[in-house]
Amino acid sequence: MRKPLVAFVLVAAMNQFISPITTAEEFVPAAMAAIPQQPLFNRDVRPILSDNCFACHGPDSGHRQADLRLDLRDNAIQSSAITPGELDASEMIARIITTDADLIMPPPESNKKLSPRDIEILRRWVQQGAVYQNHWAYEPPVKPETPTDKNAVDALVQARLAAEGLKPSPQTDRRTLIRRLYFDLLGLVPTADEVSQFVNDPAEDAYEKLVERVLASAHYGERMAIGWLDVVRFADTIGYHSDTPRNVWPYRDWVINSFNQNKPFDRFTIEQIAGDLLPDANLESRVGSAFNRLLLSTEEGGAQSKDYESRMLTDRVRAIGSVWLGQTTGCAQCHDHKFDPISMRDFYNLGAFFADIQEPIIGRREDGMLVTTEDQDAELKRLDVAIAGTKKAFAAVEPNLDIAQSQWEADIIDYQVTLPELATDSKASAPDKKTAQSVADALKKEASTRTPQESAAIKSYYRDRVAKLFKAERDAVVKAESDRKSFHDSLPKCLVSVSTTNRRTVRMLPRGDWMNETGEVVKPALPHYLPQPDFGDRELTRLDLANWIVSRDNPLTARTVMNRLWKQLFGTGLSKVLDDLGAQGEPPVNPEVLDWLAVEFMDSGWDMKHMVRAIVTSETYKQVSTDSPELKAADPDNRLAGRQSPFRLDAELIRDFALSVSGLMEDKIGGPSVKPYQPDGYWENLNFPVRQYAADGGPAQYRRGLYTWWQRSFLHPSMLAFDAPSREECVAERNRSNIPQQALVLLNDPSYVEAARVFATRIVTECQGDDSQRIVWAWQQALQRDPREEELKVAFDLVAQHSKIYQENPAAAESLLAVGQTKLPDGIDKVQTATWTHIARVLLNLHESITRP
């Protein structure tokens, strides 16, 4: 603590000022916050100590006060801060209950204050012996016993509910279920037919069959990729300053394909961190290793290499922490972590793993590795053969060219001819003059005394500038070479990891200051506080890091990944803070479920589809998402999964919804990123170079949201409005906001207006009934249900209102139907189509439409 510990006499004297603890109910409204009779260190005590005490009395040696650590039991006891079982002899207790402003802990200037509940928990815990536990996330996960005849998730969730005196909710209806499953695993709304088939499927295993169909869909990979692309900060541009493009989209397709192939998650991980170092490294694994290149970089003039070398190292260490370990490693850049055992040395040790990656620190990224299909390889080969053929044809006539060259040389020398570029009135460019001058100089020398370079210069000058002979053959070579180049230029390329033996030196940077080169040089090493094999003296590589991350030694990875999967399927993680399983995160609300998932994940060979299946086939997943009064009172945030939770769709999926309901969606997987319509001038603040945005034409305009061009500094505004992150940093959890810009996007963005009018075309052409029938049909397309009576009335009135307006003003109908690139079908009734565009538009805007049920 801040001040020397006071003598025990004083402690005893202070005790008379202890006021009786007020009953908890006065302070804590929620029923779950009752004070436990037997507080547990991990669940109850550590969060209090970590948040209030560890900053000065925890792992960070640099800031530690009074040489006291409360995160270590021995140290706390030795310092008399804690005397197990004896409240009166525990200085910590005295300090948190005193009324003396000079003595009270936490000190007032920290702006921390213990609640009476916190104090009572600490008192009971000390009274009961101050039993510490290792931090839950650093202990190996252990699979809890579950009945063999029951889904394990259900068994564990329901046991926990029962312990709280709660019951699970009923199973939801089939329409809701298929819509939930489609949104969660495909990111798409099912068609009316798909819903009706499932609803009417009499088979007992109708749902299980549906799950298998969904898992086999190529859209599964697209949906699963979205969260992964956030957490690895995938984007099409470099991020800093000019924010120029770079080639990385093949990595995005690699992620999609990996999920679709159900690539084991350990292999998936290893390819990303060390796909280039694998003994069986291939094109695919190397594309995976693009992960190491996804960080921010700069082309700013005046940027300092050392500065950005440090930024890139720290960026990578933070990424490993966010993506796999669920650790806020970034905190240890300048000092030992204040709450977790991550030391500053651990931080730089981790950074040193990446010191072998070949890359420019400042400036333009390279084009990257060719990522070709077999057909493209064959075409490249064909073009190579074509070049060889033309060269051969040229070689056949080449000796004649050499004879002609000798004659030309002799003429130049004999008649002292000045090369045209060197004539006094020459308009040749400076480089051309320079070339000609060096040729002229070489020609002055005896042929036998010329250097090989000089001879080559003469030859190439003669052939390029002088000879008119064999032009057809020569042109054929040039054309074949240019054909190959343009084909090569058009091929996909991807930044990937390439290892160099010329490793960067990694130093600890005191206080994170890159100017300071006094820090110790460090080697790659794993975090000291986590279990790891003995590597001996061997220098560790990225492959060692990758293997360890997905080894049974590491207690964090499987938990981190399963926690994120739970969030995708229930709306909130089992441990709410997805990127921090450390002391400042949240102990899981149901640790047994998280551990069962983590161990099952590893036992299954890191089989992601198996885990998805295990969860989505559970009764827990299939519950209704409406509250019961009991659950609402006991678990208002639904942390115990006594029901399902509705939540808004992610940005990409809102776009997908409009595209698919309107029938516009281009159903292709993968490919270069695409540019949907974007307001003019939105990129006006970009520079070096100034950029114009050109929206794609044709099918590329109607690709799913996840293929949107990801411009880090100016992400597409409709994506931004719905909380898509800029991906400048790793993001494990997106905000889910509800802001007026979302209404403006859905109402006025041309992408959504076009979707509405094309949807209207469908309504008008595909449904031949009266207004009521058309409304029902439209409702079925968007929501896969019939409108309720009051909805029918709203829609009916709206049709009448707009119809009247467009009949009186057909030009307005024309104008509305002109939004977007899609052509109107010939002969369609424009007044009607414009009218129904409003119904379509209203449907695309509904809360129900953009909410996963």
Partner 1 sequence: MMNMKPIGYNAQTRRSFLGRASQGLSAVALSSLLAPNVATAAPSLGIFAAGTPLPQKAKRVIWLTMAGGPSQLETFDPKPKLGELHGQPMPESLTKGQQLAQLQGQKLTCFAPQHPFTAFGKNNIEICSLFPQIGSVIDDICFIRSMTTDAINHDPAHMFMNTGSQIAGRPSMGSWVTYGLGAQSSDLPGFVVLTSLGRGGQNQPIAGRQWSSGFLPSRYQGVQLRSKGDPVLYLTSPGGISKDQQNADIAAINQLNGHHAELVDDPEIATRIAQYEMAFQMQASVPDLMDVKNETNETLDLYGCKPGDGSFAANCLLARRLAERGVRFIQLYHKDWDHHGGVKDGVALKAEEIDRACMALITDLKQRGMFEETLIVWAGEFGRTPMSQGGSGRDHHNKAMTVWLAGAGIRGGMVHGATDELGYAATENVCTVHDLHATMLNQLGIRHDAFSVKFQGLDAKLTGVEGAKVITDILT
| Subset of 494-523 contacting partner 1 (CB under 8 A) | 515
Quick check: 771 binds partner 1 (CB under 8 A)? no
Residue 352 or 746 with smaller CB distance to partner 1: 746
> Which residues in the 93-132 window bind partner 1 by CB under 8 A?
108-109, 111, 113
Residue 722 to residue 234: CA distance in whole angstroms: 18
Selected range binding partner 1 among 466-474, 551-559, 662-670, 783-791, rule: CB under 8 A: 783-791
3-state SS, one letter per residue, for 443-486? HHCCHHHCCHHHHHHHHHHHHHHHCCCCHHHHHHHHHHHHHHHH
For residue 58, which of 308, 335, 297, 376 has the smallest C-alpha distance?
Answer: 335
Among positions 186, 495, 664, 795, the unique one binding partner 1 when judged by CB under 8 A = 795
Selected range binding partner 1 among 165-173, 477-485, 495-503, 579-587, rule: CB under 8 A: 579-587
Quick check: 630 binds partner 1 (CB under 8 A)? no
Quick check: 429 binds partner 1 (CB under 8 A)? no
Residue 433 or 830 with smaller CB distance to partner 1: 830
Quick check: 361 binds partner 1 (CB under 8 A)? no
Residue 308 or 606 with smaller CB distance to partner 1: 308
Residue 434 to residue 416: CA distance in whole angstroms: 19
Residue 103 to residue 91: CA distance in whole angstroms: 11
Among positions 142, 397, 828, 846, the unique one binding partner 1 when judged by CB under 8 A = 846
Extract the tokens encoding 842: 């209203």
Contact 653, 665 (CB under 8 A): no
Quick check: 164 binds partner 1 (CB under 8 A)? no
Residue 227 or 275 with smaller CB distance to partner 1: 227
Torsion angle, alpha carbons of 89, 93, 96, 98, to 10: -40
Selected range binding partner 1 among 36-44, 206-214, 530-538, 623-631, rule: CB under 8 A: 623-631
Return all residues near 289 (Cβ < 8 A) that are at least 6 apart.
271, 272, 273, 274, 275, 276, 496, 497
3-state SS, one letter per residue, for 550-600? CCCCCCCHHHHHHHHHHHHHHCCCCCCCCCCCCCCCCCCCCHHHHHHHHHH
> Which residues in the 329-358 window bind partner 1 by CB under 8 A?
330-331, 338-340
Selected range binding partner 1 among 298-306, 404-412, 423-431, 458-466, rule: CB under 8 A: 298-306
Helix (H) or strand (E) holding 647: strand 647-648
CB of 31 to partner 1, least distance (A): 11
**Hey, how many other C-beta atoms are within 10 angstroms of the C-beta on 837?**
27
> Which residues in the 603-622 window bind partner 1 by CB under 8 A?
none
Residue 22 to residue 656: CA distance in whole angstroms: 54
Q: How far is CA 51 from the centre of its chain?
A: 28
Core vs surface per residue 123-149: b (16+ CB within 10 A) or e: bbbbeeebebeebbbbeebeeeebeee
> Which residues in the 642-681 window bind partner 1 by CB under 8 A?
646, 648, 679-681
414 exposed, middle or buried (CB, 10 Å; 0-12, 13-18, 19+)? exposed
Helical pair 830-845 and 740-748, crossing angle rounded to 10 deg: 160
Quick check: 7 binds partner 1 (CB under 8 A)? no
φ/ψ (deg, to 5) at 682: -65, -25
Quick check: 456 binds partner 1 (CB under 8 A)? no
Selected range binding partner 1 among 253-261, 398-406, 767-775, 784-792, rule: CB under 8 A: 784-792
851-852 and 647-648 as β-strands: parallel, antiparallel, unpaired? antiparallel
CB of 284 to partner 1, least distance (A): 31
Among positions 802, 803, 833, 836, the unique one binding partner 1 when judged by CB under 8 A = 802
Residue 267 or 841 with smaller CB distance to partner 1: 841
Residue 411 or 848 with smaller CB distance to partner 1: 848
DSSP 325: I
Q: Is 521 helix (H, G, I), strand (E, B) or coil?
A: strand
Residue 498 or 812 with smaller CB distance to partner 1: 812
Return all residues near 16 (Cβ < 8 A) that are at least 6 apart.
none
Residue 689 or 697 with smaller CB distance to partner 1: 689
CB of 101 to partner 1, least distance (A): 11
Q: Is 654 helix (H, G, I), strand (E, B) or coil?
A: helix
For residue 736, which of 565, 584, 571 has the smallest C-alpha distance?
Answer: 571
322 exposed, middle or buried (CB, 10 Å; 0-12, 13-18, 19+)? buried
Contact 87, 127 (CB under 8 A): yes
> Which residues in the 226-255 window bind partner 1 by CB under 8 A?
239-243
Among positions 29, 202, 452, 698, the unique one binding partner 1 when judged by CB under 8 A = 29
Residue 5's Cβ-side half-sphere holds a number of Cα atoms within 13 Å equal to 20
Selected range binding partner 1 among 66-74, 302-310, 445-453, 473-481, rule: CB under 8 A: 302-310
Residue 239 or 524 with smaller CB distance to partner 1: 239
Residue 438 or 626 with smaller CB distance to partner 1: 626
CB of 687 to partner 1, least distance (A): 4
Per-residue string for binding with partner 1, 821-840, x by CB under 8 A? Answer: -------------x---x--
Q: Please give the single-letter amino acid code of residue 66.
A: A
Quick check: 788 binds partner 1 (CB under 8 A)? yes
- List, in sequence order, every residue forming a beta bridge with 494; answer none if it has no partner: 369
Per-residue string for binding with partner 1, 462-481, x by CB under 8 A? Answer: --------------------
Among positions 602, 616, 753, 763, the unique one binding partner 1 when judged by CB under 8 A = 753
> Which residues in the 713-742 window bind partner 1 by CB under 8 A?
713-715, 717-718, 720-721, 723, 726, 728-729, 731, 735, 737-742
Query: By CB under 8 A, how many residues form the interface with partner 1?
Result: 109
Among positions 129, 605, 636, 769, the unique one binding partner 1 when judged by CB under 8 A = 636
Residue 454 to residue 463: CA distance in whole angstroms: 14
CB of 616 to partner 1, least distance (A): 21
Residue 139 or 797 with smaller CB distance to partner 1: 797
Quick check: 162 binds partner 1 (CB under 8 A)? no
> Which residues in the 311-330 window bind partner 1 by CB under 8 A?
328, 330
CB of 744 to partner 1, least distance (A): 4
Q: Is the peptide bond before 492 cis (omega within 30 degrees of 0)?
A: no
Per-residue string for binding with partner 1, 31-50, x by CB under 8 A? Answer: -------------------x
Q: Is 95 helix (H, G, I), strand (E, B) or coil?
A: helix
Residue 456 or 743 with smaller CB distance to partner 1: 743
Residue 24 or 89 with smaller CB distance to partner 1: 24
Contact 27, 117 (CB under 8 A): yes
CB of 685 to partner 1, least distance (A): 4
Quick check: 27 binds partner 1 (CB under 8 A)? no
Among positions 62, 85, 170, 301, the unique one binding partner 1 when judged by CB under 8 A = 301
Extract the tokens encoding 444: 């002055």
CB of 511 to partner 1, least distance (A): 10
> Which residues in the 266-295 window bind partner 1 by CB under 8 A?
none
Residue 556 or 816 with smaller CB distance to partner 1: 816
